[in-house]
A = this chain, B = another copy of it.
């Protein structure tokens, strides 16, 4: 294994946040499992400066061959469902089992609300003080796509640093679940006993995405209700089409507060990974995810270049108005705009 940084360089990094090493030095230290350097490299990934972005690409490229060896688990649930408590309890359970755990988040609302899911590390006291856990709040970014991309790149560095279990949290309120779903192997949905109300905040389509529905806060007076909710979801999940993974979605009740049910959840997760590694879905899904990110990044790049153009923006306003007033069909509107774009280019 490559050696880590010398103490003097580490001190320099810690005191001068703007100091940069070579990509090679970052990669070496990450591969040696150096948490301080890992954190700094993630900051470089999240940076908007062109020099940092170039450096980030180099670091990622050097880490890539060592990545991809973890299991990746997505977790979602509406605010109030107890996500932080669950991650604290389940994460501690995993670490006791010998896992090295990285907890990341995709929360595009964090820069608006000021409070990221993982922003308040005090809610994960045990995990954040444990050397086997690496916790990183959601990156900020102008767009969800940007936030998700940075999280996916961060995942690569964490895997290269030896974290074998990656949890990616998200908040269930928007498109972020689709993004997270396309970067994990398994998707957990946290619910409350007596489910229904807390789903008000959850986007449609997410329940069906879940591989395991976890009914949290199954403690005290709520145990009976939680059992009923678990049964209801088990029945409901059976009425939906089978998953490509061939896994039958299931429901489990737990109490993160009392750390009950963690073992049952882990058993299900092990069963799930056993199945998808045997039937090769694990590998196929990761390849599809990689292709998805390649294609969607290309398409996003094309669209960005197009819609950033000031002339296009002005023309689009006119066309959209005509289309919404039924003077132009949407297809005809699209054709005019594309023809307008072509003329712009030819004129140059």
Q: Using a CB–CB distance below 8 Å, which chain A residues touch chain B? A: 57, 60-61, 64-65, 67-68, 149, 153, 156, 195-196, 199-200, 202-208, 232-233, 235-236, 238-243, 287, 290-291, 293-294, 297-303, 305-306, 319-320, 323-324, 326-335, 337-338, 345
Contacts and interface: CB of A to CB of B under 8 A. Distances in A.
B241 A204 contact: yes
B294 A320 contact: yes
Given A291-B320, A298-B338, A153 B57 contact: no
Nearest to A242: B200
A184 to B, nearest CB: 15
A319 B334 contact: no
- The majority secondary structure among interface residues of chain A is helix
A61 B337 CA distance: 16
Contacts of A149: 331
A306 B302 CA distance: 8
A6 to B, nearest CB: 29
B291 A326 contact: no
Contacts of A241: 199-200, 202-204, 206-207
B239 A324 contact: no
Contacts of A337: 298
Closest 6 CB pairs of A and B: A297-B334, A293-B330, A236-B236, A294-B330, A199-B241, A301-B338
Given A291-B324, A299-B302, A300-B334, 16 more contacts: A57-B329, A60-B329, A61-B327, A61-B328, A61-B332, A205-B208, A207-B208, A207-B240, A208-B208, A236-B239, A287-B324, A294-B319, A297-B331, A297-B333, A299-B299, A302-B338
Contacts of A323: 290-291, 294
A231 to B, nearest CB: 11
A333 to B, nearest CB: 5
Contacts of A235: 232, 235-236
B232 A239 contact: yes
B153 A329 contact: yes
A169 to B, nearest CB: 19
Contacts of A239: 195-196, 199, 207, 232-233, 236
A325 to B, nearest CB: 9
A178 to B, nearest CB: 11
29 contacts: A57-B335, A60-B329, A61-B327, A61-B328, A61-B329, A61-B332, A64-B327, A153-B329, A153-B331, A202-B241, A232-B235, A232-B239, A233-B239, A290-B324, A291-B320, A291-B323, A291-B324, A293-B330, A294-B320, A294-B330, A294-B333, A297-B330, A297-B331, A297-B335, A298-B334, A298-B337, A299-B303, A302-B303, A302-B306
Contacts of A291: 320, 323-324, 330
A194 B239 CA distance: 10
A293 B232 contact: no
Nearest to A195: B239
A331 B238 contact: no
Contacts of A302: 299, 302-303, 306, 338
Contacts of A334: 294, 297-298, 300-301
Of the candidates A298, A302, A327, A333, the one having the most CB atoms from chain B within 10 angstroms of its own CB is A298
Of the candidates A67, A242, A306, A332, the one having the most CB atoms from chain B within 10 angstroms of its own CB is A332
